[in-house]
Amino acid sequence: MIKTTFNSKDRLFGTDGIRGTVNDGKVTALMAVNLAMAAGEYFRGRAGTKKPRVLIGKDTRLSGYMLEPALVAGFTSVGLDAITTGPLPTPAIAHLTTVLRCDLGVMISASHNPFEDNGLKLFGADGYKLSDEVETEIQVRMEKDTILAKSPDIGTARRMEDGIGRYIEFIKQILSKNDNLTGIKAILDCANGAGYKVGPEAFFELGMEIQLLGCEPNGKNINFECGAMFPIKMAKNTKLEGADIGIALDGDADRVIFSDEQGNIIHGDHIIAVLAREMILSKELKSNEIIGTLMSNLGLENFLQTLGVNLKRTNVGDRHILDEMIKSNSNLGGEPSGHIILSDYAKTGDGLLTAIKIISLLKKSGLKASKFLRPFELVPQSLKNIRNIDKNILNNKIVQDMTANIKKSLGNTGRILIRASGTEDMIRIMVESTNQKKVNEITDKLENLIVEQDKIEKNK
C-alpha cells in the first residue's frame, strides 16, 4: 500500500479533463503519477483482456516530456502495460484506445491553450470521454491508498510505431471508396501541435496540393500566433497563394477552422449547416435534431428550421454535445469553435476528419468556398473574454439583475450568455441580436458592469 500525497478540496477535472499551468497548481508530475495509479486501479480489467493496458498520446508541448513518463510510471506501478504514441491528435487516441483493446486512453494536451499549460484527457475502453461520476471516483481514489502491483506483475512500456498510419486509414473512411481530393489546393496550419505529422501526410495521400504553416514545433510554439486560435495567418495565405480553401487545426487537432479562397474565415456554425444539408440530401441524418451549444448562432437555428430540423442546445464542450447526441440518437453536433462531431465515424471532435469531409463536399459542388460554405446569414454576435476576474462575480446580485433585465428587453430577437470558462481563468460574455449596434452597446455595458462590481467586491 502507498499513500498518495495528492489532496485537494477543489474538483480536479474541468469541462474537458484536467488543465492548468504546469508546475503552478494542479498540473505536476506528481499529480500525473497519482492520477495514473488511481485511474489504472479503477479501469484495470475494463477491456476484458488478460493483460490490462493503457494508451498514452500527447501534443508537442515541452511539458509532455515530463508528464508522459510520469503517467507511464504510475500505470505500470499498478500493473498496466503502457503504450505511448508520441504526438497524435486527441481523436486518434480516442479511436486507437478502442482498436487496441486498451482499458483506457490518456491524451496529454491543453488543446488551444498556450504552451505553459498542459492537461490530461481520459477515455474509457469504449473510446468515450469520462462522465463526471467516473472523474469524481478517480479523484477520490487519488486521495486514498493505492494497491501497487507485486514485482512480477509490474507493467511494461513500449512505443507504438504505426499510430499515424492507422489513424490516417481511419479518417479516410469518411470518403467513398473511389473518392479523393485531387485538384484541391489548400493551406494547412497545424498550430505546431499534435497534427503536424499526420495532417500533411493524410492530405498528401488523398491527392491534395498542400502548403504548410505551423508544422515546425519546438515545444514552446504550439498555438502561438497560428492554428485555430489565430486563423488570420492561414486565411491571408489562402488568398495570397490562390488556394481553394484554408484549414487551421488547434493544438490537439480535435477542432478545425476554415477560410474561403478570398481569405475570409468561415464560421463554425456554417460548417455544421453545410454538413446538415448534405446529410439530409443523402438521407444520412438519423434524427430531426442537431446538437449545438449555448454559443451556437441564432442564424444556424433558423436555417435548420427551414430544413425541418431542430437545433438542441447544450452546455459548451464537445463532451456535453456527445452526451446529448447519444440521448437524441443524433449523428451530427458541434460548436462555433470548430468542434464538429460526426458520430457515425468518431466519438469526439475531429478536425482532420471534418476537413476531409468538407473538402470532399466542396469539390463535388464545383463552387467556390466563399459561396458553398456560407448557406445562411449569421445573426450579429459579439464574444468578449474578461481576464483577472473572480468567477464568483457571476453570483453578484447587481450583475444578475442587470443581465435578467437585458434578456427581458431582447425578447426573441437576441440572446445573452455570461459564463465562467471551464478551461481558462476568465469570464466569457456572448451577446446576440438582430441589431449590431445593440449588440455592441450591451456587450460594453455588461463588461463595464462586471469589472466595476469585481473591483467593489475585492475592496470590501
Q: Which helix (H) or strand (E) holds 318?
A: helix 318-328
Residue 164 C-beta-side C-alpha neighbours within 13 Å: 14
Cell digits for 292? 449545438
Q: If you ran DSSP here, which 8-state letter would residue 289 be given? A: E
Please provide the size of the chain in residues: 460
Nearest CA to 415 out of 425, 426, 406, 428 is that of 406
How many other C-beta atoms are found inside a 10 Å radius of the C-beta of residue 305?
11
Strand order in the sheet with 104-108: 18-21, 117-124, 104-108, 53-58, 81-87, 157-159
Helix H segments across 100-151? 132-142
Cα-atom radius of gyration of the chain, to the nearest Å? 22
Written as nine digits, the cell of 103 is 482499458
* Cell numbers standing for residue 385: 473574454
Residue given cell 445573452 in the structure block: 416
Instruction: Measure the CA–CA gap between 133 and 151, rounded to whole angstroms.
Output: 32
Q: Are strands 185-189 and 340-341 parallel, antiparallel or unpaired?
A: unpaired
**Cα dihedral sign for 384, 388, 391, 396?**
negative
Grid cell 452526451 is found at 323
* Relative orientation angle of helices 163-171 and 90-99, to the nearest 10 degrees: 100
Contact 274, 340 (CB under 8 A): no
Are the C-beta atoms of 268 and 281 separated by less than 8 Å?
A: no
Q: Out of 63, 77, 109, 111, which one is annotated catalytic?
A: 111
Q: How many CB atoms lie within 10 A of CB 145?
A: 10
Q: How far, in Å, CA of 378 to CA of 460, rounded?
A: 43
Concerning whether 176 is annotated as a catalytic residue, the answer is no
**Residues annotated as catalytic (active site), given as ranges:** 111
